[in-house]
Amino acid sequence: MSDAQKFRFKSDKEKGKGFMRTGLWSWSRHPNYFGESLLWWGILVAAAPAFRGWDFLTVVGPLGLTLLLLFVSGVPLLEKSAEKKYGKNADYQEYKRRTSLFIPLPPRK
């Protein structure tokens, strides 16, 4: 859903310039990465009743993916890129202050 919202935003010549801050993007600066992480945690939870013994080590998959997205490849790279592109924009700084980094939460006042 977040990718579809971003695609529509970028397709709109009027709004497509700038940064996305509506829809799911008003609740999280990286809702697509949150969704990816949530998908893998959901698969783990759905499969957990069938786990026996060492099967529980499969938690490494969702945990590793989430850590990579949050601290290595996903969020840090995009945050750095956005800061470089929009860092001097007061609207962007306000968006960052009000909007959760990863987990979708209502915007702060």
Helices (H), 13-88: 31-47, 60-71, 75-86
Average pLDDT over residues 50-63: 95
Is this model's pTM higher than 0.85 or not?
yes
Per residue in 10-52, pLDDT (tens digit) is: 887 666 577 888 999 999 999 999 999 999 999 999 999 999 9
Tell me whether residue 109 is in a domain. no
Tell me whether residue 105 is in a domain. no
Task: Give buried/exposed letters for 34-57 (b at 16+ CB in 10 A, else e).
Answer: bebbeeebeebeeeeeeeeeeeee
Beta bridge partners, 100, equal: 28
Tell me whether residue 65 is in a domain. yes
Range of the domain at 45: 2-98
Q: Is the dihedral of CA 97, 24, 104, 40 positive or negative?
A: negative
